[in-house]
């Protein structure tokens, strides 16, 4: 399986007069690619443009060569762009397992009519999806919570459930939005371990927005830094985090005290 590529070319997004992204060029070509930058830099807007929630004012977004701009958001999801959200979006009423099964919408081959009539194929597929969702949860060590209501599990679990759901969509590109935010060290380790394993197995092009530069420099093969809507640095994480421009963006100019 070769990995898929998602390339942003000269991407610009503006809301009214507010330019959130300006001429952004990034190539996500495989492995775990970090997208970092101070608050308000435009990272989530990048995701929103890719997912089709906002329309860019200029530029293109190419998935394996096909421009996604202008495609309705649910079609973009159908094409295989999976994603998670800053605050996990789970259906509180349903169990963890059912929430994960939601992701299988893209992989179901039988339709709702077949489901209504209870055909053998539909039932077999429902069962297969159930098992697969459970297996995915097990990869994150969450099989014990499968029957709990989504509203009753802690934030860390919710975030991982959302990732599991995104994985169940069998994505070609996975966009993670601050998956580790608000999580304790143990949970982060567990999440990262499962994630890296899956990425390797499926050769999945993954992008991760994160604030923890330390974490990101350890697990990502490449880093892109966004600041005020522009890319200010890109490359090997270990090098990028030491880049002066990047440090200045995060901490502000250090006024020399003489």
Partner 1 sequence: MFQQILSGLEAGSWYALLAISIVIVMKATDVPNFAQAQIGMPGAYTAVNLIGQGWPAIPAMLVGICVGYVLGAVIERIAIRPLASLGHFPMLVMTIGLTYALVSIVTITFGSEPRNFPTPWSEGGWEFAGLYIPYAQVVTILLGIVLAVVLTYFFRTTWGVRMRAISENPGNARLIGINSGLVSNLAWGMGAAISTLAMMLHTQGTVLADSSADPLILKAFVAAVLGSFTSLSGAFIGGLSIGVLENLTGMYIGTGWKEAVALVIVVAYLFVRMPVLVKTIKPREV
Partner 2 sequence: MSTTLPTNTANVAMPDWVSHPKRPIQSKLVRALLLLGMIILPWFLGGYYIYIVSLVLVYTLSTLGLNVMIGWTGQIGLAAAGFFGLGAYATSILNEKGLPWILALVLVGLFAALVGFVDGFPAVRLFGFFLAIASLAFGDLILRFIIEADGITGGGGGYPVQLLEFWGVDREIALYYLCLLAIVAFMVLVGRVLDGRLGRTMLAVNTIEIATPSMGIAPPKYKLIAFMTSGSIAAIAGAIFAQLLTYLSPDMFKTSLIITMLVMLIVGGVGSLWGSFAGAIFVVFVQEWLQAFQVYQRIVFGVSLMLCIGLLPGGLASLVERLRGAFAKRAGRAEGAAA
Q: Which residues bind partner 2 (CB under 8 A)?
A: 51-53, 72-78, 81-83, 85, 89-94, 97-98, 101-108, 112, 115-116, 118, 124-136, 138-139, 146-147, 165-170, 202
CA distance 109 to 235: 40
- Residue 30 or 77 with smaller CB distance to partner 1: 77
Q: Which does 212 bind (CB under 5 to 8 A by kind): partner 1, partner 2, none?
A: none
- Residue 222 or 227 with smaller CB distance to partner 1: 227
Q: How far is the CB of 6 from partner 2 (least distance, A)?
A: 14
Say if CB 96 and CB 142 are below 8 A apart.
Answer: yes
CA distance 189 to 218: 12
Say if CB 222 and CB 195 are below 8 A apart.
Answer: no
Say if CB 126 and CB 97 are below 8 A apart.
Answer: no
- Residue 94 or 247 with smaller CB distance to partner 2: 94
- Residue 116 or 244 with smaller CB distance to partner 2: 116
CA distance 221 to 203: 13
Q: Which does 48 bind (CB under 5 to 8 A by kind): partner 2, partner 1, none?
A: partner 1
Q: How far is the CB of 169 from partner 2 (least distance, A)?
A: 6
Q: Which does 116 bind (CB under 5 to 8 A by kind): partner 2, partner 1, none?
A: partner 2
Q: How far is the CB of 115 from partner 2 (least distance, A)?
A: 6
CA distance 20 to 22: 7
Say if CB 247 and CB 58 are below 8 A apart.
Answer: no
Residues that bind partner 1 (CB under 8 A): 15, 44-45, 47-48, 53-54, 85-86
CA distance 177 to 215: 14
């Amino acid at each position: 399986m070769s990995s898929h590529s998602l390339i942003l070319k000269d991407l610009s997004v503006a809301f009214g007069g507010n330019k959130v992204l300006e001429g952004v060029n990034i190539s996500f070509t495989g492995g775990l690619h970090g997208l970092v930058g101070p608050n308000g830099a435009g990272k989530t807007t990048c995701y929103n443009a890719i997912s089709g929630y906002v329309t860019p004012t200029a530029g293109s977004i190419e998935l394996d060569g096909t421009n996604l701009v202008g495609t309705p958001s649910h079609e973009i999801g159908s094409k295989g762009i999976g994603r998670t959200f800053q605050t996990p979006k789970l259906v509180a009423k349903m169990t963890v397992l059912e929430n994960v099964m939601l992701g299988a919408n893209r992989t179901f081959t039988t339709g709702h009519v077949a489901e209504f009539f209870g055909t053998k194929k539909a039932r077999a597929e429902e069962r297969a999806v159930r098992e697969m969702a459970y297996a995915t949860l097990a990869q994150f060590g969450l099989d014990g919570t499968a029957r709990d209501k989504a509203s009753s599990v802690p934030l860390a679990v919710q975030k991982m459930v959302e990732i599991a759901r995104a994985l169940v969509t069998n994505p070609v590109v996975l966009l993670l939005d601050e998956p580790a935010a608000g999580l304790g060290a143990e949970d982060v380790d567990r999440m990262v371990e499962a994630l890296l394993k899956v990425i390797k197995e499926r050769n999945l092009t993954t992008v991760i927005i994160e604030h923890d530069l330390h974490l990101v420099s350890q697990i990502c093969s490449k880093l892109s830094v966004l600041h005020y809507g522009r890319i200010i640095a890109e490359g090997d994480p270990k090098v990028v985090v030491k880049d002066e421009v990047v440090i200045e963006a995060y901490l502000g100019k250090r006024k020399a005290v003489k």
